[in-house]
């Protein structure tokens, strides 16, 4: 893509930056309630595992099908704050439906509504970030986003776990709905005038003419983006199943302490992300995207090798901290590389949808394949297989992924 012409420098206000910080934080809060707590809540309502599985599968498939069309919609609609508000309202509404009417048809509607809202929330967060700061400063802004998202996830998980313990699983979803209020307040702090609508969709100067075939052609012409999509798919194929397989192994071998170890393994990497994400954003601008993408894959190989050999709780927790490095790098690199490779096309959010499909496909295939392998060949073999997939992703980046950072002088916005 040809770079945008030099723009007159215009920095977003500190109020808008703080608003986006807290919007990311509270957005992570309201999304956390829709994680593993759903299965626990429905189980407490005497749902069968088959019905729970159907609901979760419908949610996953809906998200995969909606990612790309909703990304295109986010490109087309300039009112990014309005889209964000609709997404927050839909997440809160779906949580209330789940809390008040835990019957199959209503929960199915709630899950699809949540999937739709999530497909809007992710791209619109990236779009607002790009619209606020432009391409030159985007890596730093994304580092801040990743920090607040991780803090939101970790704090909300702890809060909701305590609420479930002392009150009920239903209360989790009532709190999720209530957290929509501070999310709206944070969103209101972002000034509309600070969001450049052209930059927020990748830099195209006008909105008409963004037909689907143009968007697809734009994606397929970008070799760097196609390689990046393949790399992300391999990353998820390796990473998504690693902790669930280890959790199953720990539960079988030592159920008395497995739950605590698993909880630490989920939460601890979030604090690693919060600690290093801003530095990762700055490093992406100094070193480029490709070195960080290689660093992102390396922990997969280390974790898989150690998990294949050891089930010691201290070792498992220590090695799982490496996942925070990968998560911090991806949290910055995914929207950043997409912004690099779609600059000037007007299809930034459409491309976010394409990468989102790769994430979902990789995670779904990874858990299925890993489950089959562990049943047939055991824990050690499946971890070595997952590590091999991660190594394949690293080799792909080394061999074919070009650097996407624009080294020429541009004025950021």
Could you give the angle at the alpha carbon of 251 between the alpha carbons of 250 and 254, nearest 5°? 70
pLDDT tens per residue, range 84-101? 999 999 999 999 999 899
pLDDT at site 284 = 92
pLDDT tens per residue, range 74-85? 888 889 999 999
Identify whether the C-beta of residue 410 lies closer than 8 Å to the C-beta of residue 3: yes
Q: Which pTM was predicted?
A: 0.86
Res. 5 pLDDT band, cuts 50 70 90: very low
pLDDT at site 347 = 86
pLDDT at site 390 = 94
Q: Examine the pLDDT at 134 and tell me if it is beyond 50.
A: yes
Alpha carbons 283 and 143: distance in angstroms, whole number: 10
What Cα–Cα distance (Å) separates residue 2 from each residue in 134, 212, 221? 15, 21, 12
pLDDT tens per residue, range 235-257? 999 998 888 888 777 777 777 77
Could you give the angle at the alpha carbon of 402 between the alpha carbons of 401 and 404, nearest 5°? 120
For the ranges 31-45, 333-347, 374-388, which has the lowest average pLDDT?
31-45
pLDDT at site 191 = 92
pLDDT tens per residue, range 174-212? 998 999 999 999 999 999 889 988 888 887 655 555 456
Q: Examine the pLDDT at 6 and tell me if it is beyond 60.
A: no
pLDDT at site 375 = 84
- Looking at per-residue pLDDT, the higher value among 144 and 217 belongs to 144
- Looking at per-residue pLDDT, the higher value among 204 and 131 belongs to 131
Which of 202, 204, 199 lies closest to 133, judged by CA?
A: 199
Q: What average pLDDT does the segment 132-153 reach? A: 91
Task: Provide the token pair at 315.
Answer: 């070792």
Residue 286 neighbours by CB under 8 Å, 6+ apart = none
For the ranges 7-21, 329-343, 363-377, which has the lowest average pLDDT?
7-21
Q: How confident is the prediction for the chain on average, in pLDDT? A: 86
For the ranges 278-282, 327-331, 348-352, 381-385, which has the lowest average pLDDT?
348-352
Which of 137-151, 152-166, 357-371 has the highest mean predicted lDDT (pLDDT)? 137-151
Q: Examine the pLDDT at 8 and tell me if it is beyond 60.
A: no
Q: Examine the pLDDT at 264 and tell me if it is beyond 90.
A: no
pLDDT at site 211 = 59
pLDDT at site 412 = 39
Backbone angles phi, psi at 256, to 5 degrees: -70, -30
3-state secondary structure the chain: CCCCCCCCCCCCCHHHHHHHHHHHHHHHHHHHCCCCHHHHHHHHCCCCHHHHHHHHHHHHHHHHHHHHHHHHHHHHCCCHHHHHHHHHHHHHHHHHHHHHCCCHHHHHHHHHHHHHHHHHHHHHHHHHHHHHHCCCCHHHHHHHHHHHHHHHHHHHHHHHHHHHHHCCHHHHHHHHHHCHHHHHHHHHCCCHHHCCCCHHHCCCCCCCCCCHHHHHHHHHCCHHHHHHHHHHHHHHHHHCCHHHHHHHHHHHHCHHHHHHHHHHHHHHHHHHHHHHHHHHHHHHHHHCHHHHHHHHHHHHHHHHHHHHHCCCHHHHHHHHCHHHHHHHHHHHHHHHHHHHHCCCCCCHHHHHHHHHHHHHHHHHHHHHHHHHHHHHHCHHHHHHHHHHHHHHHHHHHHHHCCCCCCCCCCCCC
Work out the number of other CB atoms within 10 angstroms of the CB of residue 358.
Answer: 23
Alpha carbons 86 and 79: distance in angstroms, whole number: 11
pLDDT tens per residue, range 326-362? 999 999 999 999 999 988 888 888 899 899 889 888 8
């Amino acid at each position: 893509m040809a770079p945008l012409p030099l723009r007159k420098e215009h920095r977003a206000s500190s109020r808008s930056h703080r608003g986006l910080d807290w919007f990311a934080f509270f957005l992570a809060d309201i999304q956390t309630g829709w994680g593993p707590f759903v299965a626990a809540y429905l189980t407490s309502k005497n749902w069968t595992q088959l019905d729970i599985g159907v609901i979760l599968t419908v949610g996953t498939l809906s998200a995969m099908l909606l990612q790309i069309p909703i990304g295109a919609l986010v490109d087309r609609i300039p009112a990014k704050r309005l889209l964000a508000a609709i997404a927050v309202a839909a997440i809160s509404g779906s949580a209330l439906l789940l809390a008040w009417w835990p019957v199959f048809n209503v929960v199915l509607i709630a899950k699809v509504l949540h999937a739709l809202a999530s497909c809007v929330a992710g791209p619109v967060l990236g779009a607002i970030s790009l619209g606020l700061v432009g391409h030159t400063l985007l890596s730093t802004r994304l580092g801040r986003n990743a920090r607040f998202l991780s803090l939101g996830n970790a704090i909300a998980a702890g809060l909701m776990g305590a609420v479930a313990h002392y009150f009920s699983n239903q209360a989790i979803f009532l709190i999720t709905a209530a957290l929509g209020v501070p999310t709206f307040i944070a969103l209101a702090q972002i000034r509309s005038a600070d969001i450049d609508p052209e930059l927020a969709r990748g830099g195209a100067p006008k909105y008409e003419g963004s037909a689907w075939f143009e968007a697809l052609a734009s994606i397929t012409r970008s070799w760097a983006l196609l390689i990046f999509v393949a790399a992300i798919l391999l990353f998820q194929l390796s990473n998504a199943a690693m902790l669930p397989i280890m959790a199953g192994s720990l539960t079988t071998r030592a159920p008395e302490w497995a739950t605590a170890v698993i909880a630490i393994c989920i939460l601890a990497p979030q604090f690693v992300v919060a600690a290093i994400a801003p530095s990762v954003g700055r490093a992406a601008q100094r070193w480029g995207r490709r070195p960080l993408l290689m660093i992102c894959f390396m922990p997969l190989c280390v974790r898989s090798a150690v998990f294949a050999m050891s089930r010691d709780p201290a070792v498992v927790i220590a090695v799982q901290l490496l996942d925070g490095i990968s998560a911090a790098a991806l949290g910055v690199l995914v929207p950043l590389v997409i912004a690099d490779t779609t600059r000037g096309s007007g299809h930034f959010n459409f491309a976010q949808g394409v990468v989102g499909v790769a994430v979902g496909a990789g995670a779904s295939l990874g858990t299925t394949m890993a489950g089959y392998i562990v049943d047939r060949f055991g824990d050690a073999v499946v971890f070595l297989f997952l590590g091999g997939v991660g190594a394949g992703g690293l080799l792909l980046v080394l061999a074919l992924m070009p650097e996407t950072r624009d080294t020429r002088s541009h004025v950021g916005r």
